[in-house]
């Protein structure tokens, strides 16, 4: 069973692989998050909540590595951007049953509402002003 099994959570073998790769003690539970058009996403209730991402196919390691470098750069400049965490082997993702998997910090919040348009515009302005 992979993480992409409908409403079910991530498989126990995937959770074990994440624990080993990232040197984590365990999780009290894993629950699916809404969204994730290109990934299945789950909150892992660990000592500090984490988000587990499982990428939908097709997946390209070179493109994902570029995306993660970009996110890490943006995260240094914008507190709204969660950077992929580095595993014990120094990588930001690994392959599990043909799908890339990675962790990011959990950032609580809720979807933007129409009343949030100015804050959203300001955040997009900061994002677009970043020198890459």
5-61 confidence digits (pLDDT tens): 345 789 999 999 999 999 998 787 899 998 778 899 999 998 889 999 999 999 999
User: Residue 3 pLDDT > 60, yes or no?
Assistant: no
Is residue 103 within 8 A of residue 85, CB to CB? The reply is yes
For the chain, the average pLDDT equals 90
Whole-structure pTM value: 0.87
**What's the mean pLDDT in 118-127?**
95
Residue 93: which of 68, 111, 76 has the closest Cα?
Answer: 68
Is residue 39 within 8 A of residue 56, CB to CB? The reply is yes
**Exposure string over 45-66, b if 16+ CB within 10 A, otherwise e:** ebeeebbbbbbeeebeeeebee
As a whole number of angstroms, the distance between CA 45 and CA 76 comes to: 25
Sheet holding 94-96, edge to edge: 30-32, 39-44, 50-55, 99-105, 94-96
Top pLDDT among 69 and 1 is at 69
């Amino acid at each position: 069973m992979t993480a992409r099994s409908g409403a079910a959570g991530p498989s126990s073998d995937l959770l074990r692989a994440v624990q080993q790769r990232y040197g984590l003690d365990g999780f009290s539970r894993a629950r699916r998050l809404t969204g994730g058009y290109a990934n299945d996403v789950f909150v892992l209730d660990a000592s500090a909540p984490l988000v587990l991402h499982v990428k939908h196919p097709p997946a390209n390691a070179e493109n994902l590595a570029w995306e993660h470098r970009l996110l890490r750069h943006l995260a240094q400049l914008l507190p709204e951007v969660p950077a992929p965490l580095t595993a014990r082997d120094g990588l930001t993702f690994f392959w599990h049953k043909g799908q890339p998997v990675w962790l990011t910090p959990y950032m609580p919040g809720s979807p933007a509402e129409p009343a949030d348009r100015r804050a959203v515009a300001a955040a997009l302005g900061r994002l677009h002003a970043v020198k890459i």
